[in-house]
Amino acid sequence: MMAYKSFYLVFPIALLILPFFNSPSFAQITPTINPVSPDRICKFTRDPLYCKSVLPNWGNVYDYGRISVQKSLWQSRIFFSLIEYYLRTQSRSLKTPAIRALQDCKFLASLNTDFLTSSYQTLSNANQTLPESRAGDAQTLLSAILTNQQTCLDGIRATAPSDWRVGNGAFTVPLSNDTKLFSVSLALFMKGWVPERKNSTARWPWQPTKVQQLFLNGKLPLKMSNQTREIYERVCRRRSSGDDSENYVLVSDIVVVSQDGSGNFSTINDAVAAAPNNTDGTNGYFLIYVTAGVYEEYVSIAKNKMFLMMIGDGINQTIITGNRSVVDGWTTFNSATFAVVAPNFVAVDITFRNTAGAAKQQAVALRSGADLSTFYSCSFEGYQDTLYTHSLRQFYRECDVYGTVDFIFGNAAVVLQNCNMYPRLPMAGQFNTITAQGRTDPNQNTGTSIHNCTIRAADDLASSNITVQTYLGRPWKEYSRTVYMQSFMDGLISPAGWSIWSGDFALNTSYYAEYGNSGPGSNTSNRVTWPGYHVINATDAGNFTVSAFLLGDDWLPQTGVPYTGGLI
């Protein structure tokens, strides 16, 4: 703890104060109607004593909510400055894993500042519940802030054995304190601005619109602007008659990536760099067509590359591959071969691969922290931690996921629909777990929903004649939430269904559920008896469908990707 104190003695006071002057002034908030005491309002938070310590003695739920978000924004800027200063002044004396963990934290703190700024703008003049879509947007951002905090904290803790200066409290203490404040902000937002959830069955029976019916056989009808017929035909064939613009996914521009030099670029990164910044989607997607080939690249799509669509020539035809891993000094977060945080990203017909192998432990093929991101007819190949559904809202349709330990993990609000999960042959002594969901706060709108999917052994496991225990998931974090619905489970699934993480951790607070599954591994009669495990009915399952859980009807139609909004 001495290192923690001494570091703050040399940390420039100006860096601590400056963010305050860039934040909305607390004096701008005055109490309005229906005042309540902090004692009463803090009962709705996870830590009432802490909540009361950060709130004034006056106000109503909206005043308190805005003040907590303001303070959260202030603290996020302070933490960003702390990380930035430490990297600038101390990085020469740090080991590489510690530097990479701090770089992750800097990146995540920057996102938190953006998310809190957006959240405050939403709440600044709202003194009543918000429409469902706007409330969902803000809850998603406030949920992601907590996820970013936890990711930073996990990375720093993992460096402690190799560099005690980073893991000894200098960063873990402010991270933990800020997390408490962010949790208060989320709880007060839920109390003041979120409408009572309507019965999800109100949207049923769901019928697909024209756009959802058009994406057939892997061909996406694109409405091009300023493009030649030749390129148009190379990307996709027209799938419908007539010229009604509703029948197309709007594309503003297109570039072609080809390793033989026949396209606009020979690397994916160069094509991404050419995409416009901060577009609003009015003119459609910027489309990157990646022709068949093996692309040994680490691709990171920044937050300003919005409304980007990437189409390949098919699974195992267009392959993006890398081999970063935790064993080789990378954090789990930055081990990803392909990473995206830009909103409204769409990927089609691409294989994302990490070839580090089972012995290299955590090694991510794809990490998505992109809100409203969509993956159609893609494959994700790795071993431990293959697909990192990190945060915000995501949808996967007709995708293949290969892995061993926790190979679908993260804390997004995510639905995988009509997908295939292929547990592989792990290292000797290991068992397989398909999911490890990372929800840390009961007010987060996150969880993993697996709908109408198929779980079968990958070829290496099926042909090994080795018995490997394979589980549907285990509770990575305290409020882990995963639901399997109307999916086929082959005989490799353990009768218990679910595995512990450590002792009795999260067995009472997690939420694991199954509904209407089939196959020899779907029998629930010998499942775990944890308080957090449930066999649910159609009404409860409806809460985890695309329409209800992701509000997918509001944003998926523009992608052209097919989906089922409710239960099948």
What does the block give as tokens for 163? Answer: 């560099």
Active-site entry in 137, 406, 540, 553: 406
Answer whether 440's CB lies under 8 Å from 147's CB. yes
- b/e map 443-462, b = 16+ CB within 10 Å: bbbbbbbbbbbbbbbbeebe
Q: Measure the CA–CA gap between 44 and 42, rounded to whole angstroms.
A: 5
Q: How big is the chain by its Cα radius of gyration, in Å?
A: 24
Q: Backbone phi, then psi, for 417, in 5-degree steps?
A: -125, 135
Q: What is the DSSP string of 445-484?
A: --EEEEES-EE---HHHHTS-----EEEEEESSTT-EEEE
Q: Backbone phi, then psi, for 311, in 5-degree steps?
A: -120, 130
Q: Is 441 a catalytic residue?
A: no
Q: Measure the CA–CA gap between 544 and 566, rounded to whole angstroms.
A: 9
Helices 61-90 and 172-193, packing angle to 10 deg? 160
Helix (H) / strand (E) containing 94: none
Residues 6+ apart with CB under 8 A from 347: 309, 310, 311, 374, 375, 376, 378
Amino acid at 459: D
Neighbouring-strand partners of residue 475: 437
Report in angstroms the alpha-carbon separations of 111 from 231, 302, 308, 369, 427: 36, 11, 19, 10, 36
Q: Measure the CA–CA gap between 66 and 74, rounded to whole angstroms.
A: 12
Active site residues: 406
